[in-house]
Amino acid sequence: MYGAVFNAMYQAPAPVAAPDADGAAEEEIDYVPLDPQHPLTLSNVLIRIPQPGYALEKLLNARREEFIPMDYDDDDLRIFSGDAGVGKGASSSNALGADHTAVDDWKHNREWVDMCIEHLMPPPAESSPMASTSLQKELRAMLKEQNSARSLRELGWYMPEELIGDNLYQWIVELHSFEGTLPVAQDMERK
């Protein structure tokens, strides 16, 4: 009998839902279902946990409302499409002229490269198609730049095309012709 009276006297009041910070009407939120027999409270205020995707969905909806579509002109579209060779600057392949011949000022050292090939790492076990596509694009751009260069000495690097094998993730690039004041040039002269 004393236990029932004690429990009735000291029983905590029922928890109440937390009011909104701005006092506005509460929007429809899906909450994680919790045990109704043991409500989660803090200072006698009911704690409710929104579903995990709620905040993300709310943020995405807000960003969708903020989106303003851009009206691109022809120049912008040409830049975004990545058309090569349409520029008029010095990097265009036509800037060198049709009768372009490379100046023979640097020679590829095949023996040294063959010796270094022994130290190559194996191809990666996993690779994404997106990474492979990006690498192919960069490889083509580098070979195009190398073939259109006036001078290999000016270019400063050489990629032997005959050593580009079936492993797209392994490039052999010879670096050369550094300015004498650079630390890498001083290291190369010591060796």
What does the pLDDT look like over 53-77, one tens digit per residue?
777 888 888 888 887 777 778 877 7
β partners of residue 103:
151
Which of 49-63, 74-88, 97-111 comes out lowest in average pLDDT? 97-111
Inter-CA distances, 150 with 86, 91, 95, 168, Å:
20, 12, 11, 27
Residue 156 CA to chain centroid, in angstroms?
A: 28
| pLDDT value at 174 more than 50 | yes
**pLDDT higher than 80, residue 44:** yes
Is the model more confident about 181 or about 69? 181
Q: Are strands 157-158 and 174-175 parallel, antiparallel or unpaired?
A: antiparallel
**pLDDT level of residue 138 (50, 70, 90 thresholds):** very high
pLDDT mean across residues, the chain? 73
Q: Quote the Cα angle for 24-30-34, to 5°.
A: 110
- 18 by DSSP, 3-state: which? coil
pTM for the predicted model, two decimal places: 0.40
Confidence of residue 98 (pLDDT cuts 50, 70, 90): very low
Give the whole-angstrom CA distance, residue 24 versus residue 161.
Answer: 68
Tokens found for residue 45: 């205020």
The pair of structure tokens assigned to 55 is 């905040």
Q: Compute φ and ψ for 157, nearest 5 degrees.
A: -150, 160
Ranking 1-5, 30-34, 56-60, 124-128 by mean pLDDT, the lowest is: 1-5
What lies within 8 Å, CB to CB, of 158 at 6+ separation is: 106, 108, 146, 152, 173, 174, 176
**Where residue 97 falls among pLDDT bands split at 50, 70, 90?**
very low
